Structure 1
Amino acid sequence: MSREDELRENLRNVRERIQAACQAAGRPEGSVTLVAITKTFPVSDVRALADLGVTEVGENREQELKVKAPECPDLVWHFVGQLQSNKARSVARHAQVVHSVDRLSLVTALSKAAVDEGRVLRCLLQVSLAAYGPADAATGVNRGGVEPADVPALAAEVAAADWLELGGVMAVAPLGADPDEAFAGLADVASRLRSEHPGADWISAGMTGDLEAAIRHGATHVRLGRALLGTRTPLG
């Protein structure tokens, strides 16, 4: 099987999963956006997915984003990884959406970069769901994110920042957690955020292993890598 055929089959399976999850949740078809996460995969795979109708692509690493985005400028590029403030300028130049805003210093850096680049950045607040996953603490895995109680203050900073647009929330279900419990908690945070900022209506949640649970709890964007592209090659 050629790589193009492999990607076509994977994409068909993913779209069927998303459609089935939407139907099971009583949500309309098309209410969930697929963001293809292409970390460690070549730009040829990005082009192949684009040819198959994928329009939104995400990267975890600034080093890959700045190489791939200029090669595929017609796509919507999402930055979904942990972001150092000193990389904000590059991300503002190449991405339209940042999913991992979790502190005031990053808001400040992204706003300055967006102003300098003359590009509005849609920002999602990464919410910590660590309370739902004690396994994360045991394994030392830190998935990042602002504590739910601190979301309103950080949201206000994003909403007030020049050239930033508050888009909603993002989260990763902790290792060992019940994804339904974790994403229900995220949905509650998202609902309270929308009460103050009605336009912040995105919920970025759900990956290859838990997209159905995320969609049950209102995810508007799912971030899929392995299901589309296969097992990643470890980065050196």
Structure 2
Amino acid sequence: MTDRKDELAANLAKVERRIAAACAAAGRERDEVTLIVVTKTYPASDVRMLSELGVRHVAENRDQDAAPKAAACSDLPLTWHFVGQLQTNKVRSVVGYADVVQSVDRSRLVTALSREAVRAGREIGCLLQVALDAEESGREPGGAGVSPGGRGGVVPAGIGELAGLVADSPGLRLDGLMTVAPLTGRFAGRQRAAFERLMDLSTDLRRAHPAANMVSAGMSADLEEAVAAGATHVRVGTAVLGVRPRLG
């Protein structure tokens, strides 16, 4: 156990140095960027050690794994982010522990989240997941679902409508935007350009919703590009916890 905690501490220190260097290079203050550690597939014992090491934000993408883990760690001072594609039949469970849902991509999900948040007496932060590879896919504005690259997300043209729905829904708080660097289309292999596009969309969003200033972008391989573009939150898993075992 001590060896694992030492490993996590060393990995966290490396990631911290990367974020600090990226902030310095971009002329940003270090406290402008929040680290979210993606703990999916790893046990509650790792989450507990991360908390002891000062981590305050963790993320999960599968409710069946996240719900028991969050319950086991309910005594810890953590903010839980849900980052996976969320089916409406899982919303009640997710609202029970998630403080922020980063994968809001369709009106039906907003309606379900609002209903369950009100029922639970909670306020849930919402990020709209943007499918940047959808701009050239021919989907109708306002469409959502699975992007050409196989990821969820609302098309950029649909952000305003979906944001308005979140902002007007009881129990929900519109916090900002999230994306994953596209694997296909004009942004494939161009993470910095993708994240800069997300920042432009964030600027547009904040004209109507000034408090929705959270921009979640960048992971273990491309956090520097995200910080350079202006991301406020980076989601790092492998660089902290190690290479994930194959699920099979």
TM-score range, shorter chain: over 0.9
Match of 1:157 in 2: 165
Q: Which residue pairs with 1:7 in the alignment? A: 8
1:137 aligned partner: none
SS at match of 2:31: coil
Q: Which 5+ residue runs of structure 1 have no aligned equivalent?
A: 135-139
Superposed CA RMSD: 1.5
Cα distance in 1 for residues equivalent to 2:104 and 2:134: 19
User: Please, what TM-score do these two structures have when normalized by structure 1?
Assistant: 0.95
Which residue of the other structure, out of 208, 216, 224, is the alignment partner of 1:212? 224
- Structure 2 counterpart of 1:49, one-letter code: L
Post-superposition CA distance 1:89-130 (Å, at most 9, x none): 111111100000000000000000101111100000000111
* 8 Å CA contact 1:99, 1:126 repeated in 2: yes
1:178 alignment partner AA: R
- TM-score with structure 2 setting the length: 0.90
* Partners of 2:149 and 2:203 in 1: CA distance: 27
Structure 1 pair 70/154, CA: closer, same or farther in 2 (3 Å)?
A: same
**Cα distance, 1:132 vs. partner?**
8.2
Amino acid in structure 1 at the alignment position of 2:34 = T
**Whole-Å separation in 2 of the counterparts to 1:201 and 1:146:** 18
Aligned twin of 2:130: 127
Task: Structure 2 unaligned segments of length 5 or more: list them.
Answer: 138-147
Write the distance in 2 (CA, Å) between the matches of 1:148 and 1:129.
7
**Aligned counterparts of 2:33 and 2:178: Cα–Cα separation in 1:** 14
Structure 2 vs 1, CA of residues 8 and 132 (structure 1 numbering), >3 Å: closer, same or farther? farther
Inter-partner Cα distance in structure 2 for 1:234 and 1:110: 31
What is the rounded CA distance, in whole Å, between the counterparts of 2:26 and 2:92 in structure 1? 39
Q: Judge which range, 171-180 or 117-126, deviates more.
A: 171-180
Deviation (angstroms), 1:143: 1.4
Q: Which amino acid in the other structure matches residue 143 of structure 1?
A: R
Could you tell me which amino acid in structure 2 is paired with residue 200 of structure 1? A
Counting only pairs closer than 5 Å after superposition, residues 61-140 of structure 1 correspond to structure 2 as: 61-73=62-74, 74-130=77-133
Equivalences for residues 37-76 of structure 1 within 5 A: 37-73=38-74, 74-76=77-79
Structure 1 partner of 2:142: none
- Kindly state the Cα deviation for residue 217 of structure 1 after the two structures are TM-superposed: 1.1
**Matching residue's letter, 2:163:** A
Question: What is the DSSP-based 3-state SS (H/G/I as helix, E as strand, rest coil) of the residue aligned with 2:127?
Answer: strand
Measure the CA separation in 1 of the matches of 2:57 and 2:72.
14
Q: Deviations over 1:51-74 (max 9, x none)?
A: 100011000111111011112223
CA contact (8 A) 1:167 1:200 kept: yes
| Cα separation, 2, equivalents of 1:77 and 1:177 | 29
Residues 25-83 of structure 1 show CA distances to partners (whole Å, capped at 9, x for unaligned) of 11112110010001101111101111100011000111111011112223110000000
Q: CA deviation at 1:2?
A: 1.2
Partner Cα distance (1:46, 1:127) in 2: 28
